[in-house]
Amino acid sequence: MSTELTTELTTDSTVQSTAQSADELTDAALTAEAQRLVGEFALIKPSLTAAAVGAALITDAGHLYTGINLDLACGIGFCAEHSAVAEMLKHRETCVRRIVAVDDERVVAPCGRCRELLVQIDRRNMDCVVLMPAGERRTLRELLPDAWLEHLLVEGKRA
User: In this structure, which long-range contacts are made by residues 9-16, counting pairs with CB atoms below 8 Å and at least 24 apart in sequence?
Assistant: 9/65, 9/66, 9/87, 15/91
State the first-to-last Cα distance of the chain, in angstroms, to the nearest integer: 34
Note if 87 is an active site residue.
no
**What are the beta bridge partners of residue 107?**
102
Pairwise CA distance, residues 65 & 57, whole Å? 5
**What are the beta bridge partners of residue 65?**
57
Type of residue found at 153: L
Out of 4, 8, 33, 81, the active site residue is: 81
**Do residues 55 and 80 make contact, with C-beta atoms less than 8 angstroms apart?**
yes
**What are the beta bridge partners of residue 9?**
15
Pairwise CA distance, residues 88 & 92, whole Å? 7
Annotated active-site positions, please? 81
